[in-house]
Amino acid sequence: MSVLSPSRTTTAAPRGRALVEERPLRHPDVAAPRVMSRRAWWLVASNFLLPGSAQILAGNRRFGRVGLIATFAMWIVLAAGVLLGLMWRSMLTSIVASEWTLIGAQVLLWAYAALWVVLTIDTLRLVRLPRVPGRTRAAVVVAALVLALVPASASAYTAQSVIAPLRSGLGIFADGPSVPPSDGYYNFLLLGADSGQGRDSMRFDSISVVSVNAESGAVTIFGIPRDLRHVPFSDGPMRELYPDGFEGHSSSSCGWSSGINQLTNAVEVCRADRGASLYPDAAKQNTTAAVEATKDAAEGILGIDIPYHVFIDMKGFADLVDALGGVDITVKQRLPEGPGPRYRDQPAEEWATGWIEKGAQHMDGQTAQWYARSRYTTSDYDRMRRQRELQTAILAQATPSTVLTRFSDIVAAGKNLVQTDIPDSLLPYLVDLGAKAKGQKVQDLELTPESVGFDAENPTSDDWQRIRGMVSTLLHPPTPTPAP
């Protein structure tokens, strides 16, 4: 026995030194401070650059493989997302617009953030901090925690501040399939009004139609004056009621004029069934009888099919402008801010709470709202022009960088701002067309007496025919005849 003992000792010592020399990260020389310092930095850097690699090199390899697989999976998903965004944007939108996709992405991001933190803590255990020199020990701990918090916080931020608002924002869209473009265009009725004391009796102060070319994404906006009278209707219940154009109704209890913005009174407020007999499927389609009647009127005026609407609550409009960081507008006429005069012909200086001065202005939400609404020193036609300026400016200034940096605020503002019957299945096409529309000039046609040359108080059938011809020419310009 005494003879064998020295032999067993002499074979174990060389084997231990060989392990230290061959695998210093897993079997370090703990008595060498310089070696332990270098090893600590190697493990911390490996954990940051490739989470799980520190465990593969010096710890539990099975745990390390979990980290590596999760890291590679995240890289593959990110690369696939970038590739889809560059080459198949509509497919990416279809995937992102799914509720289950967003829930899964949120869960995975939170799990990956937690995994990264756990891997970092385990890496610090593998470092063997008591064997690392004092100053290096403190630096290694600080560096490991900072390097772990940056990506983990990014994952958590994306889950909470990007995906969660996106899930919430998608709730404004309707369910169901989309309809194909009509004559090469997607047409949307855009309505604006203040919610006031209740949306049931709200009249639309801003009425326009946005036509988006289904191929190029080019945008054309048609402005319809809110007091345009005796408007015709497309085929439907309103045309049956008013075959010769919309008519007013005088009543001491509930009446309306023949202006298009009075359709809410005629269809909902002054009817016992609130328009249910006229448009029985309105609520199911995420719209209202007043909206559907206004849609039929816009179709009758312009001669185009308008399957969808977007309602903008002007009380939430200011929030959207603020979420975008403001909007740049060149003011052509000094405008008052304030509730308006108490009696007819009262000078604006007596009631205005502020003024929007002429010239280039960077407006916050409240100022932009007054710019869109002010009517006391200008006409309704000027008001329409200013609203169109704001729409165009917001479209131009909603750049990808602005949307990404302010995404959560924009989605929150949009949810309080917009109601629509646009189905979520149409989103991929709209996102793709929106990218194409960037940089293109927005066309517009205001249906005012100056632009069209007609009497807005008493339009004739010839006026409506001329307007439809102008719309058709604007949307489908004639092909130039080549010179001989």
CATH of the domain at 469: 3.30.420.590
Contacts of 171 (CB under 8 A, 6+ apart): 415
Residues 425 and 466 in one domain: yes
Residues in the chain: 484
Residues 120 and 236 in one domain: no
- Rounded to an integer, what distance in angstroms lies between the CA atom of residue 126 and that of residue 115? 16
Residues 251 and 105 in one domain: no
Residues 101 and 218 in one domain: no
How do strand 327-331 and strand 359-363 relate by DSSP bridges? antiparallel
Report the pLDDT value the prediction gives residue 20, as an integer from 0 to 100: 47
Residue 370 in domain:
no
For tokens 């918090």, what's the residue?
149
Report the pLDDT value the prediction gives residue 230, as an integer from 0 to 100: 93
Report the pLDDT value the prediction gives residue 5, as an integer from 0 to 100: 40
Residues 163 and 189 in one domain: no
Residue 165 in domain:
yes
Residues 86 and 209 in one domain: no
Identity of the residue numbered 248: G
Boundary of a domain, candidates 149, 172, 195? 172
Tokens coding 130: 């008591």
- Domain around 27: 15-172
User: How many domains in the chain?
Assistant: 2
Residue 309 in domain:
yes
Contacts of 460 (CB under 8 A, 6+ apart): 454
Boundary of a domain, candidates 172, 204, 239? 172
Report the pLDDT value the prediction gives residue 298, as an integer from 0 to 100: 96
Residue 454 in domain:
yes
Boundary of a domain, candidates 172, 197, 231? 172
- Rounded to an integer, what distance in angstroms lies between the CA atom of residue 59 and that of residue 121? 12
Average pLDDT of each block of 10 consecutive residues along the chain (484 residues)? 42 50 68 83 86 85 88 84 74 67 79 85 85 83 82 75 65 77 92 57 79 90 89 94 90 82 89 91 88 95 93 76 84 82 72 85 86 77 79 70 58 66 81 76 86 86 93 87 65
Give pTM, 2 decimals: 0.67
With beta carbons less than 8 A apart as the criterion, state whether 187 and 307 touch. Answer: yes
- Rounded to an integer, what distance in angstroms lies between the CA atom of residue 350 and that of residue 315? 25
